[in-house]
Amino acid sequence: MVAERRERLDHARSRLRLLSPVAAIEQNHLRLDDLRNRLGSALRASTQLRHEALRAVRARLASTSPQKRVEQESHRLLSLWKRLESASPQSVLKRGYAIVRDEAGRPVARAKAIKPGQPLVTEFHDGKVRVRAEDSD
């Protein structure tokens, strides 16, 4: 019976300690500390996410900036100009070919279009020569 009363007394003391203002303050301190830690973690995570989003936006802006666009288009135009230049008649002449023209200056594309004795102009990369057609084979 003494043991039982002692146990009840210990239990009552424990309850009283939990209900005391000091215990309430300690509980609130623990809760506040936990909330502070959680808030710090949440702020760090949010900041990191925003930094990553900012980096992505900067990268996207850099790739679509007017300067980058001008550079890309300049390279594209240069490439097109080189292709056009390589197909130009002057470029073909520099590679050792000649252009045969009739008296009116029109290019002659087929041997069958030339008549014997017809005056022609043969254009090379370094100048033109007047020629007269002979019989074809």
Q: What is the pLDDT of residues 13-60, one digit of tens each?
A: 777 776 777 777 888 899 999 999 999 999 999 999 999 999 999 888
What is the distance in angstroms between the CA of the first residue and the CA of the last residue of the chain?
140
Q: What is the mean pLDDT of the chain?
A: 88
Do residues 94 and 100 make contact, with C-beta atoms less than 8 angstroms apart? no
Q: Give the pLDDT band (50/70/90) at residue 107.
A: very high
The whole-number average pLDDT for the span 54-73 is 86
Report the pLDDT value the prediction gives residue 137, as an integer from 0 to 100. Answer: 65
Report the pLDDT value the prediction gives residue 94, as an integer from 0 to 100. Answer: 87
What length is written for the chain? 137
- Token pair in block for residue 133: 């057609």
Q: What is the pLDDT of residues 84-98, one digit of tens each?
A: 988 888 888 888 899
Higher-pLDDT residue of 61 and 36 is 36
Distance between CA 114 and CA 4 in Å, rounded? Answer: 134
Asked whether the predicted pLDDT for residue 136 surpasses 70, the reply is no
Angle at 55 between CA 54 and CA 57, to 5 degrees: 65
